[in-house]
Amino acid sequence: MEAIRSFIEWQLFGVCTWIGNYLSISTVTIRKYFIYASCLTFGSPVILYLIMAFWMNVRQYILNARRNPFRYL
């Protein structure tokens, strides 16, 4: 069950997991804070979450392009 949960967390944006690994905080705690902040501020952290997810994907594309030896062929 843990393997399935880990796979889903990393395949669905992975923003909370990345923040948790970066700051050494539990992913569940970060998700709770996002939920609480979204309820208190009427959803504005959701916008921040989507911006971070977009940035993580762009950064991954840039890193993959640098590693691709056939990019210039």
Separation of alpha carbons 47 and 53, rounded Å: 10
Higher pLDDT: 58 or 26? It is 26
Task: Convert the pLDDT of each residue in 7-29 to its tens digit.
Answer: 766 666 678 888 888 888 888 88
Using an 8 Å Cβ cutoff, are 15 and 31 in contact?
no
Q: Classify 5 as helix, strand or coil.
A: helix
The pTM score is: 0.56
State the CB neighbour count (10 A cutoff) for residue 8: 10
51: pLDDT strictly greater than 70: yes
**pLDDT of res. 73:** 52
Label residue 48 by pLDDT band (50, 70, 90): confident
For residue 49, which phi and psi values (nearest 5 degrees)?
-60, -45
Break the chain into its structural domains and give their ranges. 2-67
